[in-house]
Amino acid sequence: MRGMLDKYRDRSVCVAIDVRYDTPGFSANKATAIFMEYISGDIIHMEIGDSREVGRNSNKLESFIISRGMAYLQTNGLNVVEVVTDASRAIISLFGKSCMHTIIHDFVYKNKHV
């Protein structure tokens, strides 16, 4: 995926992010966040997290791996100006009050960008 990062380095990009857990509900142990460049559909990063990294609190896992993934993208020269996610309260809070509050945050509703 390093080549994909090079393709978008020093460009303003919109990134779609989706997080999947290993089990449904509040007992998830692992989660994977996929970061996709929105226009091209290129997968530019994957972030894997374990609930032990957040005190076995699976509610915090989603925000944690998205934060870590965004930091990785920004550290590697991507200028993320917009993010498209589902309407998770944890993600809304993350982009509203953290250092990412300057990034435009849009939502996907039933596979449509709104």
Per-residue pLDDT tens digits for 71-108: 999 888 888 888 888 777 777 777 777 666 778 777 77
The architecture in CATH of the region 2-113 reads 2-Layer Sandwich (3.30)
CA 7, distance to chain mean position in Å, is 19
How much is the pLDDT for 112? 58
Any residues with CB less than 8 A from the CB of 71 and at least 6 apart, and which? none
Secondary structure (DSSP) of 19-33:
EEESSSTT---EEEE
pLDDT 10s digits, 13-57: 999 998 887 776 666 788 889 999 998 999 999 999 887 787 777
Left if phi > 0, otherwise alpha if psi is -120 to 50, otherwise beta: which for 41? left
And the tokens for 13? Answer: 């990009």
Q: What is the spatial distance between Cα 61 and Cα 31, in angstroms, rounded to a whole number?
A: 7
